[in-house]
Structure 1
Amino acid sequence: MTNVYDILLERGYIKQTTHEEEIRELLGKKKVTFYIGFDPTADSLHVGHFLQMMVMSYMQKAGHRPIALLGGGTGMVGDPTGKTDMRKMLTPERIQHNVDCFKKQFSRLIDLKDGKAIIENNANWLLNLNYVNFLREVGVHFSVNKMLTAECFKQRLEKGLSFLEFNYMLMQAYDFLELNRKYNCVLQFGGDDQWSNIIAGVDLIRRKEHKPAYGMTFTLLTKSDGKKMGKTEGGALWLDKEKTSPYDFYQYWRNVDDADVEKCLALLTFLPMDEVRRLGSLPGEKINEAKKILAYEVTKIVHGEKEAEKAKKAAEALFVGGQQDMNNVPTVEIHKDSLGSFIVDLLVDVDILPSKSEVRRLIKQNGLTVNDKKVTDPNYVVTEDDFKDGYMLVRRGKKNYNRIALK
């Protein structure tokens, strides 16, 4: 039977490991409990989290037990990793709401029945800690000199790192210790930006419990130009269909660069690697077939087969040049009272774009079309003439369509 470590390696997930040979041997010999942390900074997971959920799914299918650790406690502090400014502090009520939203999204990929996976919240142990006891038990094992060399703090040192955030590494390390004691969790996973924090937890368990613990990081989801993948004109690419519609989600993957297709198929679908390599090497225009499969497969995992079919049909209806079936294109209704509005205002009012500056930027870049005509003036006024058979078709970029209906 194939070792799941080799599967993760072949598909391109693994970036760094604390003890490569030991981890591979462990995953091949025993069923282990591992964890990944998710700080509830928003009310939905996004596509960066999705990559980590895929790893959890592969691990669970190989018989290992995942813990999704929700950061109800660490979310009160905020991870400084990769941030040039301090994160906005959230209220306990907002954090709890976000935690509840995450739980629903995990169930799409992870089997939560019969103890096959655990959803924990670090608020359960972090919020009631006695600070002096915590410093004596945990803080004594951390060297400030060493911490200051960690990648996660370097960016912040220029602008100033608050003592609040400086505690984050200790808290994350303590999470690993707590999960080790409670569930015999021996392995922590995370994005490669979490490397310093993961090492801290591994070291703490080895010092406190005198037994082995391990860490592994994944490649971050980036495009061929090195920029983070999953950014859209509306912000992040969310897994919640109320924040990113299944159609827009499908379109994102349908439009990825040719150079990124094979990597996305490997990391974000369950297709066998032989098929991934075949699709990724399709020449010229044929690579578009691979993009359609990518878009369908990822949308199916996140939103279900029904939504993936609807998105696929909507895209096909438009891309064959005809408008024979517009029923699956995302549609919003406006009242006749809205006629006479500037296009900039209307698209924000109906949530097609998040801000007026975003609409203006799109117009400036020749990226906004109404009924096949480019909009060149941000003061374009929407009138009844724009509605053919009661609908106005809006296109953003090359392939993102929305329909506005007049009621």
Structure 2
Amino acid sequence: MTDIVDELQWRGLIAVSTDEDALRKAFADGPVTVYCGFDPTAPSLHLGNLVQILTIRRLQLAGHRPLGLVGGATGLIGDPKPTAERTLNDPAVVAEWVDRVRAQIEPFLSFEGPNAALMVNNLDWTSGLSAIEFLRDIGKHFRVNKMIAKEAVSRRLNSDQGISYTEFSYQILQGMDFLELYRRHGCTVQTGGSDQWGNLTAGIDLIHRVEGASVHALATPLITKADGTKFGKTEGGAIWLDPEMTTPYAFYQFWLNADDRDISTFVRIFSFRSREEIEELERSTAERPQARAAQRALAEELTTLVHGADQCAAVVAASKALFGQGDLAELDEATLAAALSELPRAEVTELAPVADLLALVDLVPSKSAARRTIKEGGAYLNNAKVTSEDATPSAGDLIHGRWLVLRRGKRNLGAVEVR
């Protein structure tokens, strides 16, 4: 056992919790059974969910037993959004997403040993529950005045959209989850994001009313970025854990490009390195930020954790090759295509002079500027310096028969696909 509360606090992973002394004692007297819920409201989890997955992983490594709950029932309803009513998804779609989300969580947990993890689905205890039973056995213990005081609910009540009874009831369902897991598995701790605090405490209150027992909750903070943009988002949208929705290369680049002002926070929250290793990375970043040691370390650690060592090696090789530190032709086609999809790019049906292509992908403002760049030795085609202002690539230059990689200077890249 480790003092997991101290560890989580040092990493900035506790935004709010129930009584800290009682929580600390519960963990010290453990092992405890702890759960975190994940609703299948999309076909993949994203970086915000990864915070929760890694938190219950840390708890398991500290000797406690994690329950991963995938909300086959709550996913049919949807947690109230601050702005508008959710669109209800077809039950068959939600069932498919349950399987996909479950498969994303499982690799992070161990299902062997004395504190083996367990995956559960709240549809198991809600599908056979009648409306009368739900209202008599569960709904009776909730007070409407407390329910409307929850932040997400109160914001919706004061908006033009209002809130449906369906979404208003979500906190009752989540509270019932905690009660069921307490009864079935002796679960006494729930974790979640700080925006879920009202739902977490709903379960605590329900267990206290029905069972007369005291249980605990802790919430992780919502992560913010120094530049004001939303964490886990890029111009292309959310960073997903599914490699078909966010490629391993794009996932790696997200961490590699992290702002120096954010990287210490990110490393503490997401890395499993020791305090000493993290503090050394923090010193290195402060002294030599241009080396991006912390960004590189975190990018490699998380890409390996989420996508595997082979995929991480492939994207690292691609990242190096794009900037002239490797052979582009040696990259497999899928990895190269994923890497080039992140660059300014254009499609052509026939080969054109390099000067034309540099302008086409906006690496230079004009063809005349492109010719000057070539003359000054600053233009590269597939990492080879272009020496002639009239140079035109041949079919033999096409990587995997379709790609040309252009570079101006050391770091300005573009891609041309020949169809």
**AA partner of residue 271 (structure 1):** R
- The change in CA–CA distance for 1:289 and 1:239 in structure 2 (over 3 A counts) is same
Contact 2:363 2:414 in 1 (8 A): no
Distance in 1 between residues matched to 2:95 and 2:395, nearest whole Å: 44
Q: CA distance change for structure 1 residues 20 and 316 in 2, over 3 Å: closer, same or farther?
A: same
Q: Is the 8 A contact 1:110 1:117 kept in 2?
A: yes
1:305 equivalenced with 2:295 (yes/no)? no
Q: Please give the secondary structure, in 2, of the residue aligned with 1:80.
A: coil
Q: Show the counterpart of 2:54.
A: 54
Q: Equivalent residue for 1:325?
A: 328
Seen in structure 2, the aligned counterparts of structure 1 residues 209 and 231 have a Cα distance that, compared at 3 Å, is: same
- The answer to whether the 8 A contact 1:251-1:399 is kept is no
Name 1:245's counterpart in structure 2. Answer: 247
1:60–1:387 Cα change, 3 Å: farther
The 5 A counterparts of 1:360-375 are 373-374=363-364
**What secondary structure is seen at the aligned counterpart in 1 of 2:16?**
strand
Does 2:252 align with 1:258? no
**Residues 331-370 of structure 1 correspond to what in structure 2 (within 5 A)?**
331-332=336-337
Q: Distance in 2 between matches of 1:406 and 1:110?
A: 44
**Aligned mates of 1:258, 1:91 — CA distance in 2:** 43
In structure 1, the residue matched to 2:294 is 290
Give the 3 Å change call, closer, same or farther, for CA 394–251 of structure 1 in structure 2. farther
SS of corresponding position for 1:196: helix
Match of 2:200 in 1: 198
Amino acid at match of 1:315: S
Structure 1 unaligned regions, length at least 5 = 334-342, 348-367, 377-383
Distance change in 2, residues 1:93/1:187 (3 Å): same
2 CA distance for matches of 1:142 and 1:18?
A: 19
Report the TM-score, using the length of structure 2 for normalisation: 0.80
Q: Tell me by how many angstroms 1:309 deviates.
A: 1.5
2:382 is the counterpart of 1:392: no
Please tell me the residue identity of whatever aligns with 2:223.
Answer: L
Offset of residue 18 of structure 1: 1.2
Please name the residue that 1:177 is paired with. Answer: 179
Deviation at 1:136, TM superposition (A): 1.6
Report what 1:350 is aligned to.
none
Query: Please, what TM-score do these two structures have when normalized by structure 1?
Result: 0.82
1:87 aligned counterpart, secondary structure: coil
Letter in 1 for 2:236: G
Residues 41 and 259 (structure 1 numbering): CA distance in 2 closer, same or farther, change over 3 Å? same
Preserved CA contact (<8 Å) 2:34 2:191: yes
Percent identity for Structure 1 against Structure 2? 38
Of the structure 1 ranges 245-254 and 268-277, higher mean CA displacement relative to structure 2 is found in 268-277
Greater mean deviation of Cα atoms: 323-332 or 34-43: 323-332
- Distance apart, 1:371 and its partner CA: 6.0
Judged with a 3 Å threshold, the aligned counterparts in structure 2 of structure 1 residues 184 and 324 are, in CA distance, closer, same or farther, namely same
SS class of match (2:328) = coil
Assess if the C-alpha contact under 8 Å between 1:40 and 1:70 holds in 2.
yes
Gaps of 5+ in 2: 339-344, 349-357, 367-391
Greater shift in the superposed pair: 149-158 or 12-21: 149-158
Q: What CA RMSD, in Å, does the superposition of the two structures yield over aligned residues?
A: 2.8
Q: Is the 1:190–1:217 contact (alpha carbons within 8 Å) kept by the matching residues of 2? A: yes
* 1:331 positional shift: 3.5
Q: Which secondary structure does the structure 2 equivalent of 1:277 belong to?
A: helix
**1:270-285 equivalent positions in 2, closer than 5 A:** 270-281=272-283, 282=285, 283-285=287-289
User: Counterpart in 1 of 2:78?
Assistant: 78
Q: Could you tell me which amino acid in structure 2 is paired with residue 199 of structure 1?
A: T
- Residue of structure 2 in register with 1:359 after alignment: none
Given that 1:31 and 1:65 are in contact with CA atoms closer than 8 Å, whether structure 2 keeps it comes out as yes
Alpha-carbon offset, residue 203 of structure 1: 0.7
Letter of the aligned partner of 2:232 in structure 1? G
Which residue does 1:358 correspond to in 2?
A: none
- Paired residue type of 2:162: G
Q: How big is each residue's C-alpha offset from its partner over 1:69-107, in whole Å with a ceiling of 9 and x where there is no partner?
A: 1111011111004x3111111111111111111122112
Compared CA separation, residues 302 and 374, structure 1 to 2 (3 A) = farther
2:107 aligns with 108
Q: Provide the rounded CA distance (Å) in 2 between the counterparts of 1:400 and 1:126.
A: 55
- Give the superposition deviation at 1:144: 1.2
Aligned letter for 1:131? A
Contact 1:331-1:402 within 8 A present in 2 as well: no
Asked if the contact 2:318/2:336 (under 8 Å) is kept, the reply is no
| Aligned-residue offset at 1:318 | 2.4
Given candidates 197, 213, 216, the residue that maps to 1:214 is 216
Q: Is the 8 A contact 1:70 1:99 kept in 2?
A: yes
Q: Distance in 2 between matches of 1:35 and 1:261?
A: 28
1:36 match: 36
Aligned to 1:264, the other structure's residue is in SS state helix
User: What amino acid is aligned across from residue 198 of structure 2 in structure 1?
Assistant: S
Evaluate the alpha carbon distance shift between residue 255 and residue 369 of structure 1 in structure 2; reply closer, same or farther with a 3 A threshold. Answer: farther
Conserved? CA contact 1:370–1:392, under 8 Å: no
The answer to whether the 8 Å contact 1:205/1:212 transfers is: yes
Residue 175 of structure 1 and its aligned partner are, at CA, apart by 0.6
Q: Secondary structure at the match of 2:203?
A: helix
Structure 2: distance between partners of 1:190 and 1:208: 22
Does 2:140 correspond to 1:140? Answer: yes
Quote the residue 2:371 is aligned against. Answer: none
* 2:35 and 2:67 in contact (8 A); partners too: yes
Aligned to 2:374: none
Q: What's the counterpart of residue 92 of structure 1?
A: 91
Distance 1:64 1:403, change over 3 A: farther
* Aligned residue in 2 for 1:223: 225
Q: How far apart, CA to CA, are the structure 1 residues paired with 2:232 and 2:365?
A: 26
SS of residue in 2 equivalent to 1:107: helix
One-letter code of the match for 1:300?
T
Q: Aligned to 1:14, what secondary structure does the other structure show?
A: coil
What amino acid maps onto 2:312 in structure 1? A
Verify the 8 A CA contact 1:173 1:200 in the aligned structure 2: yes
